Amino acid sequence: MSPSSESAPTPLTIAVAGGTGVVGRHVVAAATSAGHSVRVLARATGVDLRSPEHLADHLAGIDVVVDASGISTLDEDASVAFFESVTSSLLRAEAEAGVRHHVALSIVGAAAAPSGYYAGKARQERLLQESGAAWTILRTTQFHEFVTQVLQRPPLLGVHLVPSMRTQPVAAAEVADELVRLAEQEPAGFATDLGGPVEEKLTDLARRYLAATGGHGPVVPVPVPGPMGRAMRSGGLLPGPGALRGRQTFDEWLRAVRSSPGA
């Protein structure tokens, strides 16, 4: 098909759950740039995703829901409770409002190592699979911003304890672009995974981030116990050979962070 014969996607009305978060805000920007109408579902806009009351009213006239919501926790019970509540509430409200497509963001390895935060994402995936709704799930690797979350934990005697982990960080904006592209398509079940362009060690990323941002203290790798730790060290959380690859490297992202106002 020649470029001149390609038609632009039909404009949609898209609701973005978690539309003020790390990925969600990029989804809002990408969808708007693509000509879609966007409705943000977040506490900042007066919507509690965990409360089904009146949620269907917020979904009136919506074609597709993109769920980029999340919770800042490493606790397994808290993660499962959050994603179970949000996903169940959204699915009930979508059925009532006649939404035709649910697109969810998940993590590479969530089903293979369902512990901690990943347990909640695994529960989210199962709920969608069992729902009978029309859905698409995009699994991605960690975002570049993941290293900042790791380093937010207070150092121990000046030492940053960072999990021993192989990772392939991806740009949140590129994840958002792919979520919007999938929202424009028919429901696809599990979409092709998306990872970053380069495999890295999380400890190396932490050292480079600290050096670039004026941070101090040594970084010491810590092996995480259990199945999650084994997956981190073995590469079980890396995308497979058939996965899509992002373009922006961690170092390119870091340069952008350093050059941004207030950095």
Q: What is the pTM assigned to this prediction?
A: 0.92
- Could you read off the pLDDT tens digit of each residue along the chain, which spans 263 residues? 333 445 677 899 999 999 999 999 999 999 999 999 999 999 999 999 988 778 999 999 999 999 999 998 889 999 999 999 999 999 999 999 999 999 999 999 888 888 889 999 999 999 999 999 999 999 999 999 999 999 988 888 899 999 999 999 999 999 999 999 999 999 999 999 999 999 999 999 999 999 999 999 999 999 998 888 999 999 999 998 899 999 999 999 999 988 776 55
Helix (H) or strand (E) holding 92: helix 76-97
By the 10 Å C-beta count (0-12 exposed, 13-18 middle, 19+ buried), 142 is classed as: buried
Q: Map residue 107 onto helix, strand or coil.
A: strand
